[in-house]
Each structure stands twice: as C-alpha cells, then as structure tokens.
Amino acid sequence: MNLEYLARAAVIALAWLAVVNLAATAAVAMAAPRIARGSRARGSAATWLTLRLLPASASVIFVALLFLPSYFRFEPRDPSEGVDVTLAALALAAAAIVLTGLARGIRSWRRASRKSRGWIRRARPIALGAPLAAYEIPIDAPMMALAGVIRPRLIVTRGLVGALTAEELRASVAHEIGHWRAWDNLKRLAMRAAPDFLFATRAASAIESRWAAAAEHAADRRACEDSDARCALASALVKVAKLTPPRTPLAEPISTLVDGGDVASRVRRLLDDSEPRRGGGRRARPRVRAAASPRPRCNRAPRERAALTAGAMHPLETLAQDVRYAFRTLRRSPGFTIVAVLALALGIGANTAIFSLVDASRARALPYADPTRLVALWGNVQRARVERRGASYPDFLARR
C-alpha cells in the first residue's frame, strides 16, 4: 500500500463526500418547508436537529461505511488511472466545507468561553437549588444563561434576581436545567460546526431557528410539573422579555431564558397547559392570563371539512399538486436549482461510470467459450533477470 494509493483514496473519498453532501443538502432544502407546515413536526426539536445535521452525517457515513471499505477491498494496488479535474474540484470543495465547519465550531466555542470567563470573573456563587454551579453577576439587565458545553454553569444577573419572585426564579432555573439535561449547548455547537453546503443557504438559518423554538418549548415542558410552575414560568418570560432586547439565536453554544424562540407562543402554550377544564367545558383563567393577548376561539368545522376534502382527493390530483409546488419552489430559487441539478448530474454520472466499469471488468463474461477456464502463462529468465516473460506456443505445449 503506497502513498499514491492512499492519496487517491483520500481524493475520491472527499469527492464522494461533496457529492453526497450536495444531494442531501438539496433534499433537506426541499423537505424543510413541507415539514414546517406539518403540525406534528412543528414542535419536535429532534426533527429539526436531524434535518440540520443530515447532510454532514449522511456524507460522512457514506464515505466511512460504504466507499472506504469497498475501495480498500476491490481497488487494485497499482491503479493505472489518475485523478481528473472533476474529482479534484469536488475534493477541494469537500475540504473547504470541512475546514470551514471546523473554523466555525472553534470560533463559536472560543467566543462562548471568552464570554463565560468574563462573567465568572465578576460573579459570586449563589444558591439556587440547581444541580450545577450557579453564579450571580452584578448587572442590572435581567438575564439567565446556561454557559458551557462540557461543564456548564448557570449565570444569572442581579437584575433578574430582583425582578422575579421566588416561584418565577425557581421555574426559570428549572427551564435552564431542562436545556442542560437535553445537551442543547452541545447540539448548538454541532449545528455551527457541521461540514455541509446547507450552511450557505437560507434553509439552514430557518431550520436552526425552528430547532431553537422547539428546544425552548421542550425545556418549558421539562421545567413545569404543575399549573403553578407553568404560570410562574410564563410570568417570568413576560417580565424578562419586556426588559431584554432581542438577540440572534445559535450564535454560540449558550442557552438563555428568552433566546431562540417566540416568547408569545411559549407563554400561550404554557397558559393553555395550565388551564384545567372544569364543569361545562369552561376553563379557569390563570393569574397571569392578563400577560398574554386574548385569542379568539378556533372554529374547528372548517378545518374538519378541509381534512375530509383532502382525504377524498384522488391520488393523481395530490401528485399534480406536489409537482406544481416543486416547480414553483425551483423557479423561485434559481441558484438552489442549479446546485441541485449539478448534484444530481454528478451523482448519476458517477454511479453510471462505476457501474459500467464494474460490469465490464467483473460482472460481464469474457467473449470466449468457457471463460472460467482461461489462464495466463508467463515465465522468469533468471540468467537474464527477466520476470513475467510472455509464454510462447511451444511453452504452452510443453506445460500442457
């Protein structure tokens, strides 16, 4: 196994990494809007995390589990063909996204570590009843953050402790503990460092924002065991959101109380969960109901009729709608369309070339009678130091 053989394996592996990554990026970019319209996946953080990491994980798994074992098992040790321009360009693109993802992850990690160290230098320990270290920093702006990936610390400001009641502070701490138990900071870092082409598209930011919102809802559910805790957390969210400027989520692996999700939808869901049904189907208003805007009652009859109509549609009509929607989506994004077409063309062309090569060299029988009985004869001339000399017909008759 020489160096040229290993270098060629690395180039082809990187090329396959780029091709699979492009194909998975195209699939995720087209599937994300449809999944976003589904009510079931709208609140699933695992769904959005899987979509965001799918291009990187699919390409790495394909190269590690399929290409490399096949290459080292079937590829001859002295290949005659070299590396063409297409393979080199794809390998350079794959190396670029890997290095770019690694740089993004390191930069995000360092930025979060620098911010966390700055907070800790000015902080003092505070007892909040949390299973992890908690610190209070002398800042009047209300903020609660879970900083760190391996050894996270809970950071609260003096303004937050003064603005919240004991019940609201307890519910807020439980919310951040929910982020800690779900390893949300590690997931944020993984999305920042994912080596893929999806990061350069608008679909990546949309998926990350939806994951952040779903993760906040999941942390809210973990934090609230009863209606009192849900009401306390809803009240804390309203208080902190009024005093905190909006921030951009997923900039670094730090989970805060009001970042990463729509506070209004979180408060609305908490209040809906905290309203127990009583006699006559009416709901009791919680004490923080005034914090949320009033909502009209939803009429379910139109939705039920729409569901029945959709269920009665012919499968060909549904297929036609899907095809029209796909063409409209491709027409609105010409850049994405070009990338998707190129990815499909490269993937189909590479698969066709590999299949043709395997079929011609291994699968298809040779054009001779009894090809399995064919043998190759050669000889070595020791006096002339000649190896693998071709055999003549008299040599064949002598050996026969």
202, two tokens? 């608008």
State percent of the chain over pLDDT 70: 75
Q: What is the pTM of this model?
A: 0.63
103-113 average pLDDT score = 89
Average pLDDT over residues 18-22: 92
More confident residue, 189 or 319: 189
Helix axes 263-273, 202-223, angle to 10 degrees: 30
Contacts of 67 (CB under 8 A, 6+ apart): 12, 13, 16
Please report the pLDDT score of residue 116 as a whole number: 87
Tell me the pLDDT tens digit for each residue of 286-321: 443 333 434 333 344 444 433 434 444 456 667 777
H helix runs in 123-165, sequence order: 158-163
Residue 143 structure tokens: 């903020």
**Class of residue 270 by CB neighbours under 10 A (exposed 0-12, middle 13-18, buried 19+):** buried
**What is the DSSP secondary structure assignment for residue 383, as one 8-state letter?**
T
Indicate whether 374 pLDDT > 80.
no
Neighbours of 251 (CB within 10 A): 13
Q: Which of 111-115, 316-320, 328-332 has the lowest mean pLDDT?
A: 316-320
pLDDT band with cut points at 50, 70 and 90 for residue 57: very high
Cβ proximity of 283 and 276 under 8 Å: yes
pLDDT at 35: 76
How crowded is the C-beta side of 70, counted as CA atoms within 13 Å? 11
Specify the higher pLDDT residue, 250 or 352. Answer: 352
State in Å, rounded, how far the first CA of the chain is from the last one: 36
Query: What's the confidence (pLDDT) of residue 18?
Result: 92
Residue 155 has pLDDT above 60, yes or no: yes
**Structure-block tokens of residue 17:** 């990494």
pLDDT of residue 96: 92
pLDDT at 284: 40
Q: What are the domain boundaries of the chain?
A: 3-293+347-378
Question: pLDDT, tens digit, for every residue of 343-358?
Answer: 888 888 888 888 777 7
Average pLDDT of 92-100? 92
Mean pLDDT across 81-102: 86
Q: What is the pLDDT of residue 42?
A: 55
pLDDT for residue 46: 87
- Residue 122, pLDDT score: 86
